[in-house]
Amino acid sequence: MPNAQPGDAQPGDVQPVPEPFTSRTGPAALADLRSRLRATRWPDAPEDAGWSLGTDLGYLRELVAYWADGFDWPAQEAALGRLPRFRVPLDGLGIHLVHVRAVAPSGPVLPLVLSHGWPDSFWRYTKVVPLLTDPAAHGADPADAFDVVVPDMPGYGYSDRPAGQPLDSIAVAGLWARLMTVLGYPRFGAAGGDIGSHVSRYLALDHPDRVVAVHRTDAGVPFFAGDPAVLAPEERAWIDGAAAWGATEGGYAAMHRTKPQTAAFGLTDSPAGLAAWIVEKLRAWSDCGGDVERSFTRDEILTLVSLYWFTGTIGSSMRMYRANAAIAPAQLARRVETPSGFSVFPGDLVRPPRAWAERTANAVRFTEPARGGHFAPFEEPELYAQELRAFFRPYRAAAAG
């Protein structure tokens, strides 16, 4: 294959076979979780601190009490199991994925790989999968149907943890290219947010002959090594704003980049601590107006936290930050020439201006939906599905050809 990249199929390759996968948590693991929750040793908090210092003590007490005595994990686990799920060996790692084919399409079907971020997993896309695979059942055009692939990144969810050094976004992009070959998709679209935005970007950069278009909900953390004088005022303001956000809200990321294993001991041992670490981000990064349960029900929150708890992946998920921090600046500076779309939701963390999107990518579409935040596919699945349908519509024939 000319200009072959890691992850592309090579002549003579023996392709692995995806095997159906179902998760079932045993009664002993459930009993252990409930025992730990009931025995939580609570910290003190200043009076009326609320969420100003991190997770609100009163809210977390209520959430943990419900997790211990009201939340039905077996029912939620069974609901997740209704999605077609598989495990496939890739480069020595078992990769878990959701793979759903288009239902009754009326035109070319575009394969689409969706990449999640932190602190989540395939959970991010569970609501949007049926909207993308069966648009006609949801009042949309059947010609917009996708074959959808949602993998858990290595060290997240039900995918294996790397035994040695964590993989960075470039390496994961190579894995996803290999995965799409295994699934029989020579050309496809890519979409993602957060770390998944990075992975989708490197898919487009390193596999341009295979990725017909790439959609992202953010532009990552800004990197610019040139003369700031060439930047538009809104670009300079965005870079300054990103730095200010990092100073006030980026403590978690500094921990993940530098000493993730230290935090992993406590978060792996204490379910209340794990819930505090995750729910604070769900609240701060969603378009919820300060009330996390405007964007997520308690069952939805605890489904995500329980996925982390029962898979024991909080430590391995955080270590990917350390791997990404070591990516060379030359990689960060590459411009994406593959047709790119950006949907910048109002409640997301650091929202890039259009000028930056156009500077760093071949941005053929840039929109600002009315609602939604960092977890837009879960918070606003209908809006997110509309964004993907509209962006990818011109590229369906290219993938089919």
Q: Quick: pLDDT tens for 93-122.
A: 999 999 999 998 888 999 999 999 999 999
Judge whether 11 lies within some domain. Answer: no
Query: Residues 129, 148: contact at Cβ < 8 Å?
Result: yes
The mean pLDDT value for 380-387 works out to: 98
Neighbours of 79 (CB within 10 A): 13
What is the pLDDT at residue 271?
Answer: 98
pLDDT at 4 over 60: no
User: How far apart are alpha carbons 363 and 369 in whole angstroms?
Assistant: 16
Inside any domain, residue 5: no
Distance between first and last Cα of the chain: 18
Q: Read off the amino acid at residue 165.
A: Q
32 catalytic? Reply is no
Chain centroid offset of residue 280 CA: 17
Domain range enclosing 112:
19-400
Q: Give residue 119's pLDDT.
A: 97
Which pLDDT score, from 0 to 100, does residue 227 have?
86
Position 401 scores a pLDDT of 63
Q: What is the pLDDT of residue 302?
A: 98
63 in any annotated domain: yes
Is 205 contained in some domain?
yes
CATH number, domain containing residue 164:
3.40.50.1820
Q: Is residue 103 part of a domain?
A: yes
Find the catalytic residue in 156, 158, 374, 395: 374
Give the whole-angstrom CA distance, residue 235 versus residue 194: 19
Specify the pLDDT at position 11.
45
Which residue type is seen at 239?
Answer: I
pTM of the entire predicted model: 0.94
- Is residue 345 a part of any domain in this protein? yes
Residue 173 falls inside a structural domain:
yes
What is the pLDDT of the chain when averaged over all its residues?
Answer: 94
Walk across the sheet containing 336-343 and list its strands: 19-20, 85-90, 93-100, 146-151, 110-115, 188-192, 211-216, 336-343, 361-367
Mutual angle of helices 251-258 and 260-269, in 10-degree steps: 110
Catalytic residue among 8, 160, 194, 206: 194
Residue 18 has pLDDT above 70, yes or no: yes
- Give me the amino acid identity at 46: P
Total domains in the fold of the chain = 1
Residue 256 is a catalytic residue: no
User: What does the pLDDT read at residue 400?
Assistant: 76
Bigger pLDDT: 225 vs 282 = 282
Summarised one tens digit per residue, pLDDT across range 158-210 is 999 999 999 999 999 999 999 999 999 999 999 999 999 999 999 999 999 99
Residue 12 has pLDDT above 70, yes or no: no
321 carries an active-site annotation: yes
Task: Express each pLDDT in 31-47 by its tens digit.
Answer: 999 999 999 999 999 99
DSSP letter string, 151-197: EPPTTSTTSPPPSSSPP-HHHHHHHHHHHHHHTT-SSEEEEESTHHH
Reply yes or no on whether the pLDDT at 1 is more than 80: no
**What pLDDT, on a 0 to 100 scale, did the predictor assign at position 8?**
52
Question: Region 53-60: what's the mean pLDDT?
Answer: 97
Q: Determine the pLDDT at residue 88.
A: 98
The catalytic position among 158, 321, 384, 395 is 321
Q: Between the CA atoms of 375, 381, 383 and 387, what dihedral angle is there, to the nearest 10 degrees?
A: 80
Q: pLDDT tier at 133 (50, 70, 90 boundaries)?
A: very high
Q: In this structure, is residue 133 part of a structural domain?
A: yes
Which pLDDT tens digit goes with each residue over 67-78? 999 999 999 999
